[in-house]
Amino acid sequence: MMLTALSVNVNKVALVRNTRHLGIPSVTRAAQLCLEAGAHGITVHPRPDARHIRADDVRELHVLLKTSWPQAEFNIEGNPFHNLMDFVRELKPQQVTFVPDSEGQFTSDHGWNLKQDAGRVRPLIAEARALGVRVSLFMDADPEQMALAKAVGADRIELYTEPYAAAWGTPRQQGELDRFAAAARAALAAGLGVNAGHDLSRDNLPDFVRAVPGLQEVSIGHALVADALELGYAETVRQYLQAIERGAAK
């Protein structure tokens, strides 16, 4: 059975770093320690307002991965109509994740509506793929949109998991898991790979991994960095990898 890859999102390391002009905590050192502990990749979301990840962080992480971690994946997220495509053209990461966020948005909180956006994103997906970059579309758990994601040229979708995370541990949990499983099945049936992310944690991860078929990658940042403040990066990554393994176990 395929093991779900863990991609660590280091946005929040950059957020703390940006509150002083001292360069600490280091984003590249956080990535190094997470990769040494077994993380399969690094994710960044260089928002246009540079509230956390800055262009220099993206370039330095690209060099770190290329020189020291060639088997690890670099996943750059963002809105392709803002600053994202400049990074895709310059760095050609293994994966780009198109996220329909507005410039000042508090955080990502919805997926694409391809019934209205397909025509706009199609050429940018084609451009990224022509550069050899895998394209993932940030999507709500809506089975109807999955065939559209395939038709517009995406390789994968990333399921926006906040609704599941908010339901975890409540009577709504199973209903949300069923909804996400149905969306994943629709994505797989359409020939798409399945990623997931947003508000995933070491507590809610096992149930999600167990319920959602074909889950290739989870990208996790906020909760993981919060845990690393208590446990350190290495122990935290170890516990997140264990959480994935617990979910994958029969």
Ligand X SMILES: NCC(=O)COP(=O)(O)O
Question: Rule CB under 6 A: which residues touch ligand X?
Answer: 9, 43, 77, 158, 197-200, 219-223
Which does residue 193 touch among ligand X, ligand DXP, none (CB within 5 to 8 A, set by kind)? none
SS3 at position 7: strand
Establish whether 204 is an annotated binding residue: no
Task: Output phi, psi for 68, to 5 deg.
Answer: -110, -20
What binding mask, one character per residue, do residues 44-63 give for ligand DXP by CB under 6 A, x or -? -x-x----------------
Establish whether 221 is an annotated binding residue: yes
Quick check: is 77 catalytic? yes
Which tokens in the block code for residue 76? 């750059």
Establish whether 195 is an annotated binding residue: no
In the bound state with ligand DXP, the residue whose beta carbon lies nearer, of 67 and 157, is 157
Q: Which of 73, 77, 158, 217 is catalytic?
A: 77
In the bound state with ligand DXP, the residue whose beta carbon lies nearer, of 145 and 219, is 219
Residue 161 contacts residue 208 (beta carbons within 8 Å)? yes
In the bound state with ligand DXP, the residue whose beta carbon lies nearer, of 74 and 138, is 138
Binding flag, residue 11, ligand DXP (CB under 6 A): yes
Binding flag, residue 68, ligand DXP (CB under 6 A): no
> For residue 128, how many other CB atoms are within 10 A of its CB?
25
Instruction: State the Cα–Cα distance between residues 234 and 83, nearest whole angstrom.
Output: 32
Residue 220's identity, in one-letter code, is: I
Rg over CA atoms, the chain:
17
Establish whether 82 is an annotated binding residue: no
Instruction: State the Cα–Cα distance between residues 235 and 37, nearest whole angstrom.
Output: 8
Q: How far is the CB of 47 from ligand DXP (least distance, A)?
A: 6
Establish whether 222 is an annotated binding residue: yes
Instruction: State the Cα–Cα distance between residues 35 and 58, nearest whole angstrom.
Output: 16
Continuous H helices in 108-232 = 114-130, 146-151, 162-167, 173-189, 205-211, 222-231
Return binding residues for 1-deoxy-D-xylulose 5-phosphate. 47, 52, 107
- Residues in contact with ligand DXP by CB under 6 A are 9, 11, 45, 47, 77, 99, 107-108, 138, 197-198, 219, 221
Catalogue the active-site residues.
45, 77, 198
